[in-house]
Amino acid sequence: MPAQIVHAYLSRQHLEDVENSCPMVALPSDVARSDERVKAAFETVFKAMVSLLGREARNPAFAREDSAMAIAALCIGGMVVARSLNDRSLGDRLRAAATNIALALGGWQTAIKQPGQKTRATKSRRRRLR
């Protein structure tokens, strides 16, 4: 389930649906300038996200909570930066990189194909076609 959360969070759909997206992406700058009450509310939601992601984290190289916090930060920060870029291709690469690293941190997947990345199968197929 956490792998699906990461994919959904960093998806093109979430990127483009600004009106209905997670407030964790839209609010960090405003929260940072707010009072303790607002920060506490944001922190509660962040901790819930970390708890959810940490339940199934299984990368033995990292403590579960550390992995989960880093994954949450990659998801939130990756989407914040991707939405701030004019270059759609760069934003796609950023989201793919954040997804890839988040999945590896959680121990859910070691690699995914990034936009524009050639796979070995594609390269070998090209060689055969020549």
For position 110, what pLDDT does the model report? Answer: 52
CA distance 92 to 112: 13
Q: Is-contact 80 98, C-beta < 8 A? A: no
Using a cut of 0.85, tell me whether the model's pTM lies above it. Answer: no
Quick one: which of 51, 63, 46, 47 has its CA closest to 105? 63
CATH architecture assigned to 2-129 = Orthogonal Bundle (1.10)
Residue type, 125: R
Q: What is the pLDDT of residues 15-42, one digit of tens each?
A: 999 899 898 999 999 999 999 999 999 9
CB atoms within 10 A of CB 32: 10
Classify residue 66 by burial, with Cβ atoms within 10 Å: 0-12, 13-18, 19+. middle
Q: Is-contact 6 99, C-beta < 8 A? A: yes
Tell me which residues of the chain have a pLDDT lower than 50.
Answer: 119-130
Q: Which residue has the tokens 């995914």?
A: 112
For position 24, what pLDDT does the model report? Answer: 92
